[in-house]
Amino acid sequence: MAGGNGLAGRARWILCALLLANAATAGALGPPPLRDLRGQPASLARYGGRMQLLNFWATWCAPCRQEMPALDRLYGEVDARRIAIIGIAADDPVPVRAFVARLGIRYPIFSGDPDALFAWSAALGNVNAGLPFSVLLDDSGRVRWTKSGGLLTAAEVQAAIRKVEKAAPRR
């Protein structure tokens, strides 16, 4: 509903306010518990010291499903020593595992509690509380670029990566 009028609009704004209220805690504590596709505990710590593109998605989200093949191609093109591409599924692990296998997605996919993941994504800049949501973190873990909704393209991610690399001090 345009402009947030009516009951549905108010409900969305209340949901956003609740997510943003939880965002301070989610941001202070870092990511919620994550699991890999085998159901084992997973951590983003292994990707520390490099840029991370986190793509929040779900199997029921049509735009999410549409952008994943482009992310997988990008995964094959980037230098994995400098940039990690990681899918964060706000979904049950069983359909996630089947979906990833069916598409042949090669980049790491983690899942977790959807409510906790939405709160974390809000802390990272997902003010619309929608999917898909992508965030590029620099090698220190700071948010440098976000994209909410719509289809993510490899060209826009590569442009964001170049911008972050240009701004980074030489080591």
Go through the domains of the chain in sequence order and give each one's CATH number: 2-167 (3.40.30.10)
Report CA dihedral (97, 36, 90, 26) to the nearest 10 degrees.
Answer: 180
- What confidence score (pLDDT) does residue 17 get? 46
Both tokens of 35, joined, read: 């699991």
- What confidence score (pLDDT) does residue 149 get? 87
Which amino acid is present at 37?
A: L
- Yes or no: say if 54 and 135 are a contact pair by the CB < 8 Å rule: yes
- What confidence score (pLDDT) does residue 93 get? 87
**Sign of the torsion formed by the C-alpha atoms of 100, 162, 52 and 151:** negative
- What confidence score (pLDDT) does residue 129 get? 87
Q: pTM of the prediction? A: 0.82
**Sign of the torsion formed by the C-alpha atoms of 149, 156, 127 and 90:** positive
Contacts of 60 (CB under 8 A, 6+ apart): 91
- What confidence score (pLDDT) does residue 117 get? 96
Residue pLDDT tens, the chain, 171 long: 444 455 554 445 445 444 444 443 334 548 999 999 999 999 999 999 999 999 999 999 999 999 999 999 999 999 999 999 999 999 988 899 999 999 999 999 999 999 999 999 999 999 888 999 999 999 999 999 999 987 899 999 999 999 999 987 665
- Yes or no: say if 109 and 100 are a contact pair by the CB < 8 Å rule: yes
- What confidence score (pLDDT) does residue 25 get? 36
For 92, which DSSP code? Answer: -
What kind and span of H or E run contains 143?
A: strand 143-148
Comparing CA positions, the residue from 127, 90, 114 lying closest to residue 13 is 127
